[in-house]
Amino acid sequence: MDIRIRPALPGEYDDLGELTAQAYLQDDLLTFGDNDWYLGELRNVAKRAAAAEVLVATDDGRLLGGVTFVPSAGPMADLAGPGEAEIRMLAVAHDARGRGAGEALVRACVDRARALEGCTGVVLSTQDAMRAAHRIYERLGFVRAPGRDWQPLPGHDFTLLTYQLTL
């Protein structure tokens, strides 16, 4: 497989949004399933691209997955503090998993962070059920940061785990 990582093109936003939404739905990662408010965020690639960098993984022109790279604190950052970049909404199509697309997307984000002047680390949120993603993060040197775990839905028993990489 010849995976290519590049910025998402506006003509791909709808397909990437649906790929991302379906990955979360099929993996049962949304608290409220088809009615989850977060589906709108996952599908709204144009919004993400206006405030951050959206990357895609392709093979022979086929969209395999995508990720949002947030270079610093701002409207798309959930966790990033001063000097930190953030990775958000990593998703790979089910039929493309196990081929290295997810790892290639994370590596591309880390490379971008290393190229940023003053960037000292990368952070990301993940769910306990995202075990395959955890293996990628750990293989690339990310470590758990339990002190930064957080709850995006106050009043619900749903905690996002935090991983961080010091550059």
| Average model confidence (pLDDT) across the chain | 94
Q: 31 vs 58, which has greater pLDDT?
A: 58
Is the model's pLDDT at 9 over the cut of 90?
Answer: yes
CATH 3.20.20.70 fits 3-166, yes or no: no
pTM attached to this predicted model = 0.94
Residue type, 37: W
Contacts of 156 (CB under 8 A, 6+ apart): 31
Largest CA distance in the chain: 45
pLDDT at 65: 98
Contacts of 120 (CB under 8 A, 6+ apart): 83, 84, 166, 167
Q: 1 vs 118, which has greater pLDDT?
A: 118
pLDDT band (50, 70, 90) for residue 1: low
For the stretch 129-146, pLDDT in tens is 898 999 999 999 999 999
Domain boundaries, the chain: 3-166
Around Cβ 37, how many Cβ atoms within 10 Å?
10
For the stretch 11-22, pLDDT in tens is 999 999 999 999
For the stretch 20-42, pLDDT in tens is 999 999 999 887 788 888 999 99
Contacts of 4 (CB under 8 A, 6+ apart): 57, 58, 59
